[in-house]
Structure 1
């Protein structure tokens, strides 16, 4: 079971869109997928028409009672969509409740471990703030995907995120790999092109994805219907960009697995 954490310390960069669209393509290839909403704003939960205000089963239960089984909290999504661990607003209280206690950063990793035989891929949708939820998501991750809007202010959020990843790596025996994904790219605008150039000058190699996710109004249509864009319009620019991203993520996972075998 591979766990990908989708995170950035700035909101509005396309994290939820990335989670949903990657999940749709994974399912199209026969993968068993679980989505975990860790954001108190519950955008991912709402995407699939779940009422975060009324949810009695959510990821919050894992933190509130360590004896809770994640398998008992799973919610279905429409049709044959991915399974969902929903968010509730009460997640916003966890830093106050648990922040000073030791060993709270591994709760999610330990809770997800028993699901290894049930799912092939888990995608975690993070809040845009550094706290116990993001720390848990990073501790559980096999890889971090960092969507970054191609505009100047988003690059500042990316700087904070990369510093956080460096901090996390100092406490891990093996380096947590990440991939920065330029999103909402509009080749018609000077600002978007300049931001992409800046990204490519600062980040190189396997840190930065070679492609871009373009602006595509079909993402909004997919959200309104509670579907992945890979279902609604698989030939659209946005869907095809995420398909290329998925191919590259799977290739990175495969190459790293081979390297571990050789080592």
Structure 2
């Protein structure tokens, strides 16, 4: 099983869209994909028509004092309209995890939970909250790869600086290597601000940025409104083509790192 986390300390940069779209594309490749929503706001959960305010069973259960076994984790899973794509939803209760984290030492709860369903999925994509805390640390600790969507505008670049510092700090604390890829999102070639931000991203992070970008595409919003991954809603859209290219790049890098 491969575990990828999608994270940024700035909201509104395309985290949920990236996780759901890549998950849908992996499912099209006949991969068994788990989408894990660790954001108390529950954007990924809402994407598929579930209400995080009313769910009594959610990823919050992974942080219980008595850790759930495989059967209990399976009871938390919800279906999606996409074959091969399963959701472990969020709920508002996740917001209480931060208050308990220091006392209970819960930094590896998600890692231990995923180990119990390791053979059930080929990929897990974690949508983490835009705040450094126990939930993001759990996402980073559980993952082997980090995807960092960054909106191509200058305020988002400042948020990226904080995220890069966080990656360094957390990986040192966890004593693990974590490959990360910066993904420029919401690119609009018609605006100088977007073009300039992309140029700065490429100049500042030449070794960790994906070579292309995710364009502004209204089909992305439409897919979300209809509760299906972008490639299922509009396979020939510009956004779907861009995410297809991104996935191809990520899988190629993964293959290069996998020992023969």
- TM-score of the alignment, normalized to the shorter chain, above 0.5: yes
- Corresponding residue for 2:248? 247
Query: How far did residue 220 of structure 1 move?
Result: 0.8
CA contact (8 A) 1:213 1:238 kept: yes
Partner of 2:150: 148
| Corresponding residue for residue 88 of structure 1 | 91
Q: What per-residue deviation string (whole Å, max 9, x for no partner) do you get for residues 39-77 of structure 1?
A: 110000000011212212100011024331322211111
Q: Give the corresponding residue for 1:71.
A: 74
Per the alignment, residue 106 of structure 1 pairs with: 108
Counterpart of 1:184 in structure 2 is 186
Secondary structure of 1:49's aligned partner: coil
Specify the SS of the correspondent of 2:120.
coil
Which residue is equivalent to 1:37? Answer: 37
TM-score when normalising by structure 2:
0.96
Correspondences of 1:201-240 after superposition (within 5 Å)? 201-205=203-207, 207-240=208-241
Deviation string 1:205-255 (CA, Å, 9 cap, x unpaired) is 2x1100100000000110111011101111111001000100111111111
For residues 163-186 of structure 1, the C-alpha deviation after alignment (integer angstroms, 9 at most, x for no partner) is 010012213444110000000000
Cα deviations by residue, 1:51-109 (Å, 9 ceiling, x for unpaired): 2122121000110243313222111113525111110011111111223333x110000
SS at match of 1:167: helix
Question: Alignment length, in residue pairs?
Answer: 257
Partner of 1:24: 24
Conserved 8 A contact 2:82-2:228: no
Q: TM-score, normalised by structure 1?
A: 0.95
Equivalent residue number for residue 196 of structure 1: 198
Q: Is the 8 A contact 1:60 1:91 kept in 2?
A: yes
SS across alignment from 2:183: strand
Could you tell me how far 1:115 is from its partner in structure 2? 1.4
Which residue among 118, 121, 137 is the counterpart of 1:119? Answer: 121
Tell me if structure 2 keeps the 8 A contact 1:66–1:107: no
Measure, in 1, the Cα distance between the counterparts of 2:202 and 2:82. Answer: 40
Change in Cα spacing, 1:105 to 1:121, as seen in structure 2 (3 Å) is: same
- Which runs of no fewer than 5 residues in structure 2 stay unpaired? none
In 1, Cα distance between equivalents of 2:148 and 2:243: 13
